[in-house]
Chain A
Amino acid sequence: MIHFADVTFGYDAHPVLDGVSFDIPEGEFCLLVGTTGAGKSTLLQSINGLVPRFTGGTMAGDIHVNGRSVRGAAPADLADIVGYVAQDPLAGFVTDDVELELAYTAEQLGLAPAVMRKRVTEIVDLLGLADVRGRTLAALSSGQRQRVAIGAALVAGPSALVLDEPTSALDPGAADEVLSALHRLVHDLGVTVLLAEHRLERVAQYADSALLLHGGKVMAGSVGEVLAVSPVAPPVVRLGKVAGWAGPPVTIREARRHAAPLRAALAVESVPSDAAAAVGPALLWTDALTVDYPGVRAVDGVDLAAARGERVALMGRNGSGKSSLLWALQGTGRRAGGTVTVGGRDPARLKAGRRRTLAGLVPSEPADLLYAETVAAECDGADRDSGAAPGTCAKILDDLVEAVDSGAHPRDLSEGQRLALALAVTLTAAPPLLLLDEPTRGLDYPGKGALAVRLRRLAEAGHCVIVSTHDVEFVAEFASRVVILSDGAVVADGPAREIVSASPMFAPQVEKIVPGWLTVEEVVAALGGGDADD
C-alpha cells in the first residue's frame, strides 16, 4: 500500500533519508520509531508530497501509494489518497466550525453535496463526534480537536493515513480516545495507518508493525523486534529485556503473563523509599489561590505548600488549570484572589527582575524565552539580565547538557538542547523555586531521562522543582510528590509512589506489571545490575 523504493532525501550534502526501502501492506497500523531529529516527520511528509514541495531539498527514489507514484506530486493532488494529520491540529484548521472543517477536504475534491453530507455523518459517527458537530473548534477539548483533524483527513476516503505525533500534546485520557478511534478506523475502513510518536507506551499496543528510522536507514519488522533494537523503547520493552522475556512483550497484558518470576525475585527486595529524600526548609506557600479568565475560573482556591528539595509533578487533564497555576505561582500571571508566598515574599508584588530571582518559569514553548541570534549571545544576555558574573549562564548550560554549539541559532537547536538553554537562562537568576510547564513535549526517552536526572540534581542542590506534565513515565522517573488538579482544584496530593499507583490513569507501565515499582532503573538496581547488561 505504502511502498518506498530506495528513497534518498537531503538538504545539500546532508542526507536525512538514505536509501530507504520498505513496504506497508494494506490495512496495517504501522508505527514509525526514532529518536528526536531522526527524520520521522520528513519521512511522513514525503508520502503526501509536502517533502520536498514545501521544504526544498533533493529527493531520489520512488514512492508509491496504492499503486500510484507520489514522488514529485503536489500535496493537493494527493489529498484523495493520503490523509495527513500534523502535530498541532489548531495550526492546520482552515475553518472554525467542526462540520465545515470535516467537509473541507470533500469540498476541495468536488464531491457531490449529497455524498458529502453522507460522508461527514459517517465520519462523525465513526470518531464519536456526534455531540460536538455543531460547535466551534475553539470550544473543543484537545482530544476532540485531534479527532476532528483525523476526521477531516478521512472524509476524502484516502487509502493511507499519516499522523505525526498525534498524541504528544494530549493528556492520557484524551490520547486513549484518539488512539482507540484510530484503531477502529483500521478495522472498519481498512485504512493503512502510519504513525510517528514519541510516547510509545501509549501506541505500541495498537500497532501491527513498526519501522525504525535511525541514521537515515529504515528497519522494518514486528513491533517487538523493532523496539528490541531501537534506541527509544517504552518501559515495558526495556523491562522485558532486563528480565529476559521472549519477544520482548510490547503490551502490559503480554508482560504480565511473564511477570510471575520477576515479582517473586523482587518480593524479597525492599521497594525504594523516597521518604529518605532530604526535604529542606519550607519555601512555597499558597492560600486560596484563584485565577480567573473571562467566563472561566481556571484555578479555584488552591492551598499548596512546598519545601526546598521537593520534586513536585502537577498532573491533570488538559485545561485543568496547571499552566495558570504555574504562572500565578511565578507571579507574572495575574491572580484573582488568595496569597502566594515564596521565601516569605509575594512574587507578584516584585518587579519582573527581582521576581525571577525568587521563582523561575520555563514556559511550554521554551523558545519564547530566547531571542538572541546565537547561544553565546543568549547566555551573555541572560548574565546581563540577572546581573550575574559573565559566564554564569554558559557554565550552567555546560552542566546541563554537553556540547551545545555556542554559535548556533537557538531555534536551530534540538528540542532537548533548546529546553536546556531556556532552563539555563532561567537558572542564571538562581531562583529557589523552579517551575516548568510541559517540558517533555517533543523529547524522546533518552531526552526525558536526561531531563529527569538534571531536575533531580537541581532539587538536591536545594531548588524546589515543580513540573506540570501529562507524561506518566516522566513523573515516575522524576517526581517525589504528585499533585493532581481537576477543574482548577487540587483533588489529590501526596508521595508520588502512592498517588500514581492508586490511579490506573496515572500509573506508569512498570507499576502495572510489578506493583510498587515505578521505573526500570529501580528494578535493575534492586536486582543488582547483573541482568542489566544483556
Chain B
Amino acid sequence: MNARSARAAAPRGSGAPGRTAKGHEVSGHGANGSGPRRRGAHPVAWWGWALLLATAASRTGNPWLLLLIAAVAGLVVVFCRGDEPWSGAYRVFLFIGLSAIAVRMVFYVVFGGSDGSTVLFALPSVTLPDWAAGFRLGGVVTLEGALAALYDGLRLATLLVCVGAANALASPRRLLRSVPAALYEVSVAVVVALSVAPQLVQGVARIRRARALRGNTRRNPADLMRTVVAPVLHDALDRSLALAAAMASRGYGRSAGIPAPARRTTSAFLLIGLLGLCAGAYASLSSVIPSPLAWGLLAAGAAAATCGIAFASKRVPHTRYRPDAFGSRDWAILASGAAAVAGTVLSGYFEFGLLWPATNPPQVPPLPLAATCGVLLAAAPAMLVPTQTKEGPA
C-alpha cells in the first residue's frame, strides 16, 4: 500500500540532479555521472540478454543445460530486480512454464509419440478411423517417449522463464522509451500486450482477496475461470485502454504535419520489411529451404525493415529527454547473453550429441562443456548490476 517511507531514503539525498558538486561520494554508482540516478541497467540490455538466453535454450534439448538456463535466469532476477510492481512476473512465468511441461506430458500420454522398448504402463488404446488420419489414442507409455516429451516441455518452459525474467527485470514502460516513434501503431499494441502481464499479477492478488470476502474458496477450474480469470482479464483490458488513451492525449505518435501519402508509403515499407524479416527467420530455421537463399531473405528483410524505420523516424519530429545512455555495463550484459548463444553454437559443432541427447536407449545425458560455460557466463549480470536498494560505496 505505501512503500513510500521505505524507499524514499535512497534517492532523496542528492537534491537537484545535475548539481552534483559534492554529491559524488553520496551516490555510489557513478559510472556515468551525466544521468540522474540511473536505476539498474538499460531495458533494451535486459530484454536482449533474456532473448539471447532464450535463443540458447531453443538450440538445445539437454535437460541439465535447460535447467541451468532457467536457474541462471532466476539467479539474475533475484539479484538485479527492483521492487517495482512487475518484479513478481518471474514467478508467474515459472508457473506457466511448469504447466507447459504438464500439458506436453499429457499430450504424450494421450496421443503417444516416439516409441521405445522400456514400457512404463499401458493404457487402453483406440485407433481413430482413417478419415481422422488414423491417430492412436492411449496405448503404451514408454520411458523413452516420456523422456523425449519431458525434454521438449522443459525447452518450452525455459523459453517462457526467460521471457518472465525480462519482464521482471525491465519495466515494459521504460522499454517503450527506446522504441522508434515510427513504429507507433506496432509499439502501442506491444505496450498494451506487455503491460498486461504485470497487471495480471497484481490483478489476480486483488481479485482473489475479494473472492475470499465472498466466502468463495472453491478450486474447480470452471469456477476459477468465471470468478478469477474473467474479472482479472476485464480489469487488465480496462487499464491497458486507459494507458493507451493517456498516451494518445500526451501526443504519442503525432502525425502533425506529415502528409497522408507519405505516411502510407512509410507504413507499407515497414510492413514489407517486417514480413521479409519473418520470412527470412522462418527460412533460416527451416531445413527445406537452402541456406544461402534463407540468409539472403533474412538480410533483405532486415534491410527493408531498417530502411522503413529510419525513413519513418525522420518524418516524426521526436526528441529525447536525457536519453538512457547504452553504457559499457549494458554492453557487458548483452555480451554475457551472447556468450550463452556462442556456447551452444560451439557445442553444436563439437559435441552435437550432447546438445541433443538421445532418449533411446534412456541414459543420463552428460553436460556439453562449451554450452555450460556459455550459460554460466550469462549469470554475470548478477555481479555486474547490484541490487538497487543497497547504499554506500560500491
Give the most central of B2, B174, B226: most A CB within 10 Å. B2
Interface residue? B24 (CB, 8 A): no
Question: In whole Å, how far is B230's beta carbon from the nearest beta carbon of chain A?
Answer: 7
Known: A100-B321, A135-B11, A360-B213. Contact between A109 and B5, CB under 8 A? Answer: no
List residues of chain B with CB within 8 A of the CB of A330.
213
Q: Is the CB of A92 within 8 A of B251?
A: no
8 A Cβ contacts from A61-100 to B = 74-80, 82, 84, 86, 88, 91-97, 99-100
8 A Cβ contacts from B292-346 to A = 316-322
Partner among B5, B174, B248, B251 whose Cβ is within 8 Å of the Cβ of A50: B248
Stretch at the interface among B53-61, B202-210, B267-275, B282-290: B202-210
Interface residue? A21 (CB, 8 A): no
Q: Is the CB of A91 within 8 A of B174?
A: no
List residues of chain A with CB within 8 A of the CB of B322.
99-100, 103
Q: Count how many chain B residues have C-beta atoms less than 8 Å from C-beta atoms of the other chain.
A: 65
Q: Is the CB of A153 within 8 A of B321?
A: no
Q: Is the CB of A108 within 8 A of B254?
A: yes
Contact with A along B104-121 (1 / 0, CB 8 A): 000000000000000000
Known: A134-B36, A352-B217, A385-B214. Contact between A108 and B320, CB under 8 A? Answer: no
Question: In whole Å, how far is A73's beta carbon from the nearest beta carbon of chain B?
Answer: 10
Partner among A50, A76, A294 whose Cβ is within 8 Å of the Cβ of B252: A76
Interface residue? A107 (CB, 8 A): yes
Q: Is the CB of B242 within 8 A of A77?
A: no
Determine the distance from Cα of A108 to Cα of B251 in the docked complex, in whole angstroms.
Answer: 6
Contact with A along B151-194 (1 / 0, CB 8 A): 00000000000000000000101101100010000000000000
Q: Is the CB of B215 within 8 A of A323?
A: no
Interface residue? B383 (CB, 8 A): no
Determine the distance from Cα of A353 to Cα of B181 in the docked complex, in whole angstroms.
Answer: 52
Interface residue? B85 (CB, 8 A): yes
Contact with A along B1-44 (1 / 0, CB 8 A): 11111111001101111000000000000000000110100000
8 A Cβ contacts from B216-251 to A = 216-217, 226-227, 230-231, 234, 239, 241-251
Q: Is the CB of A135 within 8 A of B12?
A: yes
Determine the distance from Cα of A5 to Cα of B204 in the docked complex, in whole angstroms.
Answer: 46
Known: A75-B245, A355-B215. Contact between A107 and B84, CB under 8 A? Answer: no
Known: A96-B171, A100-B321, A296-B6. Contact between A382 and B214, CB under 8 A? Answer: yes
Q: Is the CB of B320 within 8 A of A113?
A: yes
Q: Is the CB of B213 within 8 A of A86?
A: no
Q: Is the CB of B321 within 8 A of A103?
A: yes
Partner among B246, B316, B319 whose Cβ is within 8 Å of the Cβ of A111: B319
Which of chain A's residues has its CB closest to B231's CB?
A371
Q: Is the CB of B243 within 8 A of A91?
A: yes
Contact with B along A136-166 (1 / 0, CB 8 A): 1011110000000000110010000000000
Q: Is the CB of A352 within 8 A of B243?
A: no
List residues of chain A with CB within 8 A of the CB of B5.
296
Interface residue? A386 (CB, 8 A): yes
Interface residue? B253 (CB, 8 A): yes
8 A Cβ contacts from A233-256 to B = none
List residues of chain A with CB within 8 A of the CB of B37.
134
Partner among A134, A295, A368 whose Cβ is within 8 Å of the Cβ of B17: A134
Q: Is the CB of B1 within 8 A of A323?
A: yes
Interface residue? B133 (CB, 8 A): no
List residues of chain B with CB within 8 A of the CB of A92.
242-243, 245-247, 249
Interface residue? A174 (CB, 8 A): no
Question: In whole Å, how far is B324's beta carbon from the nearest beta carbon of chain A?
Answer: 9
8 A Cβ contacts from A29-66 to B = 48, 50, 53-54
Interface residue? B255 (CB, 8 A): yes
Partner among A86, A106, A411 whose Cβ is within 8 Å of the Cβ of B246: A86
Interface residue? A454 (CB, 8 A): no
Q: Is the CB of A139 within 8 A of B7?
A: yes
Determine the distance from Cα of A48 to Cα of B241 in the docked complex, in whole angstroms.
Answer: 16
Partner among B15, B85, B210, B321 whose Cβ is within 8 Å of the Cβ of A368: B210
List residues of chain A with CB within 8 A of the CB of B217.
351-353
Q: Is the CB of A110 within 8 A of B317?
A: yes
Interface residue? B256 (CB, 8 A): yes
Interface residue? A298 (CB, 8 A): yes
**Assuming A50-B248, A103-B322, A426-B213, what are 7 further A-B pairs, CB within 8 angstroms?**
A50-B245, A74-B254, A107-B319, A111-B319, A135-B8, A140-B4, A332-B213
Residues of A within 8 A of B (CB): 48, 50, 53-54, 74-80, 82, 84, 86, 88, 91-97, 99-100, 103-113, 116-117, 120, 130-131, 133-136, 138-141, 152-153, 156, 293-296, 298, 318-319, 321, 323-324, 327, 330, 332-333, 351-356, 360-361, 363, 365, 367-369, 371, 382, 385-386, 411, 425-426, 429
Q: List 9 A-B contacts (CB under 8 A).
A: A107-B320, A108-B251, A112-B319, A113-B321, A138-B84, A296-B2, A356-B213, A369-B213, A385-B216
In the A-B complex, list the 4 residue pairs whose CB atoms are closest, starting with the nearest: A92-B246, A79-B251, A110-B317, A103-B321
